[in-house]
Amino acid sequence: MKAFQITGKGSTRFEDIAMPIVQEGEVLVRIKKLGYCGSDLNSFRGLNPLVTYPVIPGHELSGIIEEVGTNVPDTIKVGAQAAIMPQTACGKCSSCRNKRFNACKYNETLGVQRNGGLTEYLAVPWEKLIIDDSLNLTQLALLEPLAVGFHAAKRGQVKQDHYVVVLGCGVIGLGAIAGATAFGGHVIAVDLADDKLEKAKQAGAKYTINAATEDVEARVNEMTKEFGADVVIEAVGSPKTYTLAIDLVCFTGCIVYIGYAAEPVSFNTKFFVLKEMDIRGSRGSDAEDFSNVLKAVKSGAVNPEDIVSHTFNFEESDKAIAMWADDPSKVSKVVINL
């Protein structure tokens, strides 16, 4: 079967690989839709420290069940549509003992530490499937990045009438906006681009701030009657937004960091103590987050297709990722049709 591989910095190829053999407890899925993620872009640009080349990218996936192995529940049928949860869990580390399997110390994510889904077929454990025939396959594939944002909102313990600032309105940020809105928060979306802020409104943001033209801290204080945000979710991954989150959060508020800052970040630590704030990381997502996103999509609160900016066929996978690398500002989400 055909597969697309990233072989090194700026280097790709199409390759013939062996069909997967379905093992006990596994299901064979014919991949139909795939969303390129920022981790795939970083692998192509040589900036992903977790990847070993060559790698088949892709972990935002949907497809059709083609074969069902032994010891799989009877409810899982050939022909059903499914999204795939892309992470593994060892079951033994401290995260797994605490039932936070998404943060497994030894996790291997599809398309990063192990080969992903930019190929014709993938064999996966049945427990990793989100089966649903009511959504289309593009919507199913894009549950995954939205679930990452929903997980961040859950980590922030967003409650009814909380003021929630989301820094960054990329795909993950949009998921955080939709999640915080679903939990009853009043979301203030912050970005540098007006088109992304429009998408933030579609995802549920009540207010928007263009950080290129407005004073973010002053506007947040105005909107929150000088209290500051109950929750700040950082979905950019830059030193500037890492420290801005400290300024924006209220006393006894919560900050959730999703983005990675490539450079070291310096903090004025007195505010950690004075505000008695909670600072939390957020990694990946879990089955509950997928379920919450599914409910939000079915209710019409968010439509994953709204975030798609570009669509390519499988044979153009190389052109698609090169285009994204050439000008990331033009891209919100690339979807590959298989």
CATH T-level assignment (fold) for domain 148-281? Rossmann fold (3.40.50)
Give me the mean pLDDT over the 114-143 stretch: 96
**Rounded to whole angstroms, how far apart are CA atoms 169 and 156?**
17
Q: What is the pLDDT of residue 221?
A: 97
**pLDDT at 104 (0 to 100):** 96
Question: For residue range 283-326, what is the model confidence (pLDDT) as tens digits?
Answer: 999 999 999 999 999 988 888 998 899 999 999 999 999 999 99
Instruction: Answer whether the bond into residue 304 is a cis peptide, omega within 30°.
Output: no
Report residue 332's pLDDT band, with 50, 70 and 90 as the boundaries.
confident
What pairs with residue 29 in β-bridges?
A: 65, 122
At 24, list the tokens.
Answer: 């006990």
Q: Please write the tens of the pLDDT for every residue from 205-260.
A: 999 999 999 999 999 999 999 999 999 999 998 999 999 999 999 999 999 999 88
pLDDT of residue 49: 84
| C-beta neighbour count of 279 within 10 angstroms | 14
Per-residue model confidence (pLDDT) at position 144: 95
pLDDT for res 331: 87
Q: What is the pLDDT of residues 44-72, one digit of tens each?
A: 999 888 898 999 999 999 999 999 999 99
- Helix, strand, coil percent content, the chain, rounded in steps of 5: 35, 25, 40
| pLDDT level of residue 263 (50, 70, 90 thresholds) | confident
- Evaluate whether the domain defined by 2-142+308-337 bears CATH number 3.40.50.2020: no
pTM for the whole thing?
0.93
**Predicted confidence (pLDDT) at residue 93 exceeds the cutoff of 80:** yes
- Domain chopping of the chain, boundaries: 2-142+308-337, 148-281
**Quick check: 262 and 285 in contact, CB under 8 A?**
no
Average pLDDT, the chain: 95
Matching CATH topology for 2-142+308-337 and 148-281?
A: no
pLDDT at residue 191 greater than cutoff 80: yes
Question: Count of alpha carbons within 13 Å of 218, Cβ hemisphere only?
Answer: 5
Give the residue with greater pLDDT, 171 vs 11. 11
Question: For the purposes of burial, counting CB atoms within 10 Å of the CB of 99, is it exposed (0-12), middle (13-18) or buried (19 or more)?
Answer: exposed
Q: Is the pLDDT of residue 268 over 90?
A: no
